[in-house]
Amino acid sequence: MSAPRTPAAEELRGAGLRVTAARVALLETVRDGDHLDVETIASGVRDRVGHVSLQAVYEALHALTAAGLVRRIEPAGSPARFEGRVGDNHHHVVCRSCGVVADVDCAAGEAPCLTASDDHGFSIDEAEVIYWGLCPACSTASSS
């Protein structure tokens, strides 16, 4: 199978990663989606390139996350989600009821956007912020 030449393939190459059809499909799936979990990503990859094992999807996600092409978020109590919006310090708002995730732009623009009241001598480079609440659909449902 010859490696595809698409923008996603070029980015994989640029990040020093081996380019495979499955990895290209994975990157495209994550970017087209909205904070997808692994199962959803796997089915998106399969829609594009045919059967790919879940293990291969996990390995590719790990490689692409390590290379900074995708970002992994893991709200407490919910499975890991992946997104293609990288390189900024945006945060997430998560619905306590249904688990839907939305992006929230960083108020300060750069990490760490919160100043620790006591840094304990650490050189702090990131504050992980997750806002929790009820999404519009769930708050409508719970008030009726």
**Residues contributing to the site for Zn ion (CB under 5 A):** 83, 95, 97-98, 103, 135, 138
Q: Is 106 annotated as a binding residue?
A: no
CB distance 131 to 104 below 8 Å: yes
Across the beta sheet with 130-133, the strand order is 101-104, 91-95, 130-133
Distance (Å) of CA 83 to CA 1, 36, 119, 144 = 27, 7, 30, 33
Based on CB atoms, which residue is closest to Zn ion, 66 or 98? 98
Q: Is 95 annotated as a binding residue?
A: yes
What 3-state class would DSSP assign to 86? coil
Based on CB atoms, which residue is closest to Zn ion, 4 or 112? 112
Q: Is 110 annotated as a binding residue?
A: yes
Based on CB atoms, which residue is closest to Zn ion, 98 or 124? 98
Rounded to whole angstroms, the Cα distance separating 130 from 111 reads 14
Query: Residue 68 Cβ, how far from Zn ion at the closest point, in Å?
Result: 14
Q: Is 113 annotated as a binding residue?
A: no
Residue list for the binding site for Fe cation: 110
Residue list for the binding site: 95, 98, 110, 135, 138
